[in-house]
């Protein structure tokens, strides 16, 4: 039994401390009765402390959008995982396609971050996904396998179980183009198959695989209704309390 997880990734789109507080105060009463969905919000770094104060004691957990793999030192502009833990972050998003493509993050770097997050007790949400050209060339599974081999290199069973995987086809992120539930499910089954080869079936069955890419209130239920889609990572539609609440309720509805 896998509890679905819905994450709101605000990126740099919303999230002055005031905006974050306002949005969270609106969201909390809409979803505070929900127990069968893990709910995670990832505001920008500068809003994490304020958001934590508001989220304390609620059913919403706090995530950072990124971190560095070192705990301390001369790394100007980077954020230590320890700092995140200390201010109440429970999750951290790693390897988002925007980090990979705009900031040139490699699978190897993401693997280092992932191991560090797990070591210090931050729960990682690790994104993988293919470009449009790769899908059109029939290379989606090859790319996913390549990313998984490197991103999850040397992970132990107890570590992968703590990890949430977000399958985010890059062509669907922020584009309004969503993968069909069937397209997404096919890749989720593939990912779970790789996990069962790398670890074992029992372990693979415990790992949550979110879908991400233009999830909206009107497509969430169909996506989450698929057996291997364990919730979603939501960008644009997480910026409004009502639409995010709707998506969270869709995850609750399809949980069984
Ligand atoms: C994301 O940024 O992870 C994402 C899925 O964005 P959007 O929902 O806007 O496509």
Distances (CA, A) of 194 to 144, 201, 211: 10, 10, 17
CATH number of 5-255: 3.20.20.70
Q: Helix, strand, or coil here: 73? A: coil
The pLDDT of residue 93: 98
Least confident of 28-32, 75-79, 111-115, 251-255: 251-255
177 alpha carbon to ligand 1 midpoint, in Å? 11
pLDDT computed for residue 177 by the predictor: 86
pLDDT band at residue 216 using 50, 70 and 90 as cut-offs: very high
Average pLDDT of the chain, as a whole number:
97
Q: What tokens does 23 get? A: 């949005």
pLDDT of residue 153: 98
In this predicted structure, the answer to whether residue 1 has a pLDDT above a threshold of 90 is: no
152-198 per-position pLDDT tens digit: 999 999 999 999 999 999 999 988 888 999 999 999 999 999 999 99
CA–CA separation, 206 and 27 (whole Å) = 29
Ligand 1 atom 2: residue of nearest CA: 235
b/e string for 24-62 if b means 16 or more Cβ within 10 A?
Answer: beebbeebeebeebbbbbbbbbebbebbbebbeeeebbb
Q: Where are the alpha helices (DSSP H) in 32-106?
A: 48-55, 81-86, 97-102
Q: Other C-beta atoms within 10 Å of 107: how many?
A: 19
CA gap 106, 170 in Å, rounded: 15
The dihedral region occupied by 232, where left means phi > 0, alpha psi between -120 and 50, and beta the remainder, is beta
Which residue CA neighbors atom 7 of ligand 1 most closely? 235
Domain ranges of the chain: 5-255
Q: Which residues surround ligand 1 with Cβ inside 6 Å?
A: 9, 168, 173-174, 212-215, 233-237
For a mutational test of ligand 1's pocket, the pick from 8, 9, 129, 178, i.e. the residue with the most ligand atoms closer than 8 A to its C-beta, is: 9
């Amino acid at each position: 039994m896998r509890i679905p997880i819905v994450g709101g990734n605000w990126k740099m789109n919303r999230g002055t401390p005031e905006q974050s507080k306002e949005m969270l105060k609106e969201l909390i009463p809409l979803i505070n009765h929900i127990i069968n969905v893990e709910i995670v919000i990832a505001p920008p770094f500068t809003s994490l402390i304020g958001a934590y104060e508001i989220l304390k004691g609620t059913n919403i957990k706090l995530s950072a959008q990124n971190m560095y793999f070192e705990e301390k030192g001369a790394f100007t502009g980077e954020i230590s995982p320890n700092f995140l833990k200390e201010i109440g972050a429970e999750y951290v998003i790693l390897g988002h396609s925007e980090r990979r493509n705009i900031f040139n993050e490699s699978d190897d770097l993401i693997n280092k971050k992932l191991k560090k997050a797990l070591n210090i007790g931050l729960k990682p949400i690790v994104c993988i996904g293919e470009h449009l050209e790769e899908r059109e060339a029939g290379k989606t599974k090859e790319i996913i396998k390549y990313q998984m081999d490197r991103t999850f290199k040397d992970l132990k069973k107890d570590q992968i179980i703590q990890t949430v995987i977000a399958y985010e086809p890059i062509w669907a992120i922020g584009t309004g183009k969503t993968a069909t539930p069937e397209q997404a499910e096919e890749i989720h089954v593939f990912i779970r198959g790789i996990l069962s080869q790398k670890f074992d079936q029992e372990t693979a069955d415990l790992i949550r695989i979110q879908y991400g890419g233009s999830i909206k209130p009107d497509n969430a239920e169909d996506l989450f209704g698929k057996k291997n889609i364990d919730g979603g990572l939501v960008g644009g539609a997480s910026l409004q309390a009502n639409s995010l609440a709707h998506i969270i309720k869709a995850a609750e509805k399809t949980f069984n």
